[in-house]
Amino acid sequence: MPKVIGLTGGIATGKSTVSKLLSAHGFKIVDADIASRQAVKKGSKGLEQVRAVFGDEAIDENGEMDREFVGEIVFNQPEKRIELNNIIHPIVREIMDIKKQQYLKEGHNVIMDIPLLFENGLEDTVDEVWLVYTSESIQIDRLMERNDLSMEDAKARVYSQISIDKKRRMADHVIDNRDTKLDLKQNLEKLLLEEGYIEQSLDDSTS
């Protein structure tokens, strides 16, 4: 019986890397970020709803959502963030559910790649939750380096989510990403082996 696994983490914990590794192991990935972009793509009903709430300035010269403009508004006005979520979330869930059902019918294990899984209370929509974990201090360091942010801005982004240590206590399985990419790969493969998704290779068993 195929499983539906919710993959989550915190900002800059390395979830995208784990998602790619899982895809290489034959899991089918349903990505919330991709679905979010599809929900407001050019010419979509979602984009017209965004225009109605945020005005014509929310649409750029290419007829797509101006993410920077909308992002600035929702970051500073929580009530506008709620309005945006009320537009996007139902469409995203519909897109993701269609994909999930298609993959399950084909007999695949499905990864629901959802960055804000706990924040949006979606843990009951999956069979298990797998968390990509790193320490808060590493999150901040990686974010400063990756996005060229000040420490203050990096902390603000990290603290806008449920803390990674609280998420760790809420998850069914934890994939440790505090060290190198090789360590991460080995930690993930250890979990896949323990859960029966892959078999131990002859090389591993004789070493």
Contact 50, 36 (CB under 8 A): no
Identity at 40, one-letter amino acid code: V
pLDDT reading at 207 higher than 60: no
Is 16 annotated to bind ligand?
yes
Distance CA 27, CA 36 (A): 21
pLDDT reading at 145 higher than 70: yes
pLDDT of residue 102: 98
Domain ranges, residue 73: 35-108
Residue 194 pLDDT grade (very low, low, confident, very high; cuts 50, 70, 90):
very high
Are 151 and 182 members of one domain? yes
pLDDT reading at 87 higher than 90: yes
In a domain, 151, yes or no: yes
Is 58 annotated to bind ligand?
no
In a domain, 197, yes or no: no
Are 104 and 117 members of one domain? no
Are 129 and 185 members of one domain? yes
Q: Return all residues near 117 (Cβ < 8 A) that are at least 6 apart.
A: 6, 8, 123, 126, 129
Is 13 annotated to bind ligand?
yes
Are 48 and 103 members of one domain? yes
Strand blocks (E) in the chain: 4-8, 28-31, 110-113, 128-133, 173-176
CA angle 16, 26, 10 (to 5 degrees): 20
Are 44 and 146 members of one domain? no
pLDDT reading at 202 higher than 70: no
Pick the last residue of a domain from 108, 128, 153. Answer: 108
pLDDT reading at 205 higher than 80: no
In a domain, 202, yes or no: no
In a domain, 121, yes or no: yes
In a domain, 207, yes or no: no
Give the pLDDT mean for 89-109: 97
Pick the last residue of a domain from 77, 108, 139. Answer: 108
Cβ neighbourhood burial of 185 (10 Å; 0-12, 13-18, 19+)? middle
Is 180 annotated to bind ligand?
no
Higher pLDDT, 202 or 125: 125
Question: What is this structure's pTM?
Answer: 0.89
Contact 128, 5 (CB under 8 A): yes
Which candidate, 3, 8, 2, 4, places its Cα nearest to that of 113?
A: 8
Are 117 and 22 members of one domain? yes
pLDDT reading at 143 higher than 80: yes
In a domain, 196, yes or no: no
Sign, CA dihedral 56-160-18-183, equals: positive
Distance CA 188, CA 27 (A): 13
Are 180 and 114 members of one domain? yes
pLDDT of residue 17: 96
Are 120 and 187 members of one domain? yes
Are 173 and 124 members of one domain? yes
The total number of structural domains in the chain stands at 2
In a domain, 141, yes or no: yes
Is 105 annotated to bind ligand?
no
Give the pLDDT mean for 6-26: 96
Taking the CA atoms of residue 64, residue 33, residue 117 and residue 85 in that order, the dihedral angle to the nearest 10 degrees is: 0
Please provide the average confidence, as pLDDT, over all residues in the chain: 94
CATH number reported for the structural domain that contains residue 8 in this entry: 3.40.50.300
Query: Treating both helix axes as pointing N-terminal to C-terminal, what angle do 32-39 and 78-105 enclose, rounded to 10 degrees?
Result: 110
Are 60 and 161 members of one domain? no
Is 14 annotated to bind ligand?
yes
- Is residue 32 helix, strand or coil? helix
pLDDT of residue 206: 43
